[in-house]
């Protein structure tokens, strides 16, 4: 066993502290990279769609009487292969299903590369498990073929039994083909037209646009970037555009210190989930909803310095008291300084439904007590 060396341990501690301090200086607190805040205009994916047939099913395909387009599609495919179906023949295959294929063609994708595709039944097939997708062209919005799809369909979710009841984890009328399509045509993606690169912010915020432009000007020189509005930042490209990839990579990795976000509360009306950020505050109000009653009061608290303090300053803060009562005697008294998250948690403990939460939050917003933007999804 090695003998403990305190000097060596001290050197390790000092080295780690210096490393952490240098990292903190290089990467500001609450910072995000530009690539996480904005995207380069024109660098986007393109949606592809196609219609095809999945064959080889174990009797779980479309029923021809309710999905007549399936045998029609099969007859058309056989005719292209030189197989003539006699007129008037009533085809009733049970191992074929008509499907729609959807995919996204990434930016800069080149011919020969593989992309993932999704397959969804458009008829009444019971399952696509074990099926094979026949070669299907995938077209873009302009009607041109950009990829060809073919392969074995992977369907998940066989179902699980728990407590005597069967729970279906995932339906079987849709599947996925990882790398199931081959790119046949590339989409041109021009960058920096007119010597100007445009960055489109993910959210409309003037402060973020100013911060992004400021970070670029600090790294690339004054006048390199200009915030046009809350969504667009334009960057001047260097005279030598041979290293455009390196220039864009440098810009995307620049750290940007973000300001405090706008107060927002997002609620899912179906599940009752409530998500809020740190900027949400509450003011005085009283809400009655059915058997629930919510009372929020604020009391100013004055903190004065000692008489002999030379640089003392009087500070006025507010003490927030929240009380939630339920008809029948249930009472929850929340501590001073309680936040909206505490109100929602207390309401849930009293059995409030998602509709109750939505109604109470909307009432607080209308009364001006909820200092946040309320979004219902």
pLDDT in tens, 125-165: 899 999 999 999 999 999 999 999 999 999 975 544 444 44
Work out how many domains the chain is built from and give that number. 3
Give domain status of residue 274, yes or no. yes
Q: Would you say residue 20 lies in a domain? A: no
Q: Do 174 and 195 fall within a single domain? A: no
Structure-token pair, residue 72? 């029609």
In a domain, residue 12? The reply is no
For residue 312, tell me if it sits in a domain: no
* Residue 261 Cα to chain centre, angstroms: 17
In a domain? residue 310: no
C-alpha 15, offset from chain centre = 39
**Same domain membership, residue 167 and residue 87:** yes
What the block records as the tokens of 345 is 């948690």
Boundary (domain end) residue, out of 167, 183, 199: 183
Map residue 79 onto helix, strand or coil. Answer: helix
Same-domain pairing of 175 and 85 = yes
Are residues 128 and 54 in contact, defined by beta-carbon separation less than 8 angstroms?
yes
Same domain, yes or no: 239 and 116:
no
Q: Which of 151, 183, 215 is the last residue of a domain?
A: 183
335 and 366 inside one domain: yes
What's the pLDDT at 312? Answer: 57
18, part of any domain: no
Residues 55 and 166 in one domain: yes
Domain of residue 330, residue span: 264-302+317-376
Do 51 and 169 sit in the same domain of this protein?
A: yes
Do residues 218 and 283 share a domain? no
CATH (domain of 232): 3.30.1360
CA distances from 357 to 314, 341, 347 (A): 39, 12, 8
* 149 domain-assigned: yes
Contacts within 8 Å (CB) and 24+ apart, 31-35: 31/255, 31/256, 31/257, 31/258, 32/255, 32/256, 32/258, 33/252, 33/253, 33/254, 33/255, 33/256, 34/199, 34/212, 34/215, 34/216, 34/251, 34/252, 34/253, 34/254, 34/256, 35/252, 35/253
Cβ neighbours of 352 (radius 10 Å): 23
Find the angle CA(71)-CA(73)-CA(79) to the nearest 5 degrees: 100
Strand partners, 120: 100, 174
For residues 59 and 79, membership in a common domain is answered with yes
Domain-located, residue 110:
yes
CA distance 297 to 334: 11
**pTM summary value:** 0.67
pLDDT tens track for 239-262: 877 788 889 999 999 999 888 878
Residue where a domain terminates, one of 165, 183, 201: 183
Question: What are the tokens at 31?
Answer: 């910072």
CA distances from 334 to 10, 286, 322, 327, 346 (A): 47, 14, 5, 18, 8
What are the 10-residue block averages of pLDDT along the chain, 377 residues in total? 49 43 43 90 93 92 85 87 82 89 94 96 90 95 95 74 49 90 92 86 91 93 92 89 86 89 81 77 67 61 56 54 54 54 70 75 78 82
Are 253 and 271 found together in one domain?
Answer: no
* 158 within 8 A of 130, measured Cβ to Cβ: no
Q: What is the pLDDT of residue 10?
A: 46
């Amino acid at each position: 066993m090695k003998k403990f060396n305190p000097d060596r341990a001290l050197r390790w501690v000092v080295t780690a502290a210096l490393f952490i301090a240098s990292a903190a200086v290089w990467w500001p607190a609450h910072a995000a990279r530009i690539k996480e805040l904005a995207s380069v205009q024109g660098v986007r994916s393109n949606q592809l769609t196609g219609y095809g047939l999945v064959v080889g099913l174990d009797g779980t395909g479309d029923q021809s009487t309710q999905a007549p387009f399936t045998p029609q599609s099969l007859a058309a495919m056989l005719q292209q292969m030189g197989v003539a179906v006699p007129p008037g023949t009533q085809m009733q295959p049970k191992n074929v299903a008509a499907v729609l294929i959807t995919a996204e063609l990434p930016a800069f994708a080149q011919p020969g590369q593989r992309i993932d595709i999704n397959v969804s039944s458009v008829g009444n097939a019971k399952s696509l498990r074990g099926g094979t997708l026949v070669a299907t062209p995938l077209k873009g919005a302009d009607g041109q073929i950009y990829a060809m799809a073919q392969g074995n369909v992977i369907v998940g979710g066989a179902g699980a039994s728990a407590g005597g009841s069967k729970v279906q984890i995932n339906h079987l009328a849709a599947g996925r083909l990882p790398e199931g399509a081959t790119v046949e045509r590339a989409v041109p993606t021009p960058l920096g037209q007119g010597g100007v690169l445009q960055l489109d912010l993910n959210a409309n915020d003037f402060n973020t646009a100013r911060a992004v432009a400021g970070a670029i000007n600090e790294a690339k020189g004054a006048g390199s970037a200009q915030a046009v509005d809350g969504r667009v930042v334009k960057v001047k490209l260097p005279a030598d555009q041979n290293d455009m990839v390196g220039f864009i990579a440098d810009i995307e990795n620049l750290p940007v210190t973000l300001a405090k976000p706008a107060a927002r509360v997002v609620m899912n009306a179906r599940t009752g989930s409530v998500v809020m950020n740190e900027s949400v505050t509450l003011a005085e109000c009283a809400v009655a909803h059915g058997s629930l009653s919510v009372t929020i009061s604020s009391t100013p608290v004055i903190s004065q310095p000692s008489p002999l303090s030379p640089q003392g300053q009087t500070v006025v803060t507010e003490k927030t008291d929240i009380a939630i009562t339920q008809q029948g005697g249930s009472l929850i008294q929340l501590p001073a300084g309680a936040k909206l998250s505490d109100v929602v948690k207390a309401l849930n403990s009293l059995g409030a439904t998602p509709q109750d939460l939505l109604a109470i939050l909307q009432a607080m917003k209308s009364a001006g007590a909820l200092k946040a933007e309320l979004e219902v999804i």
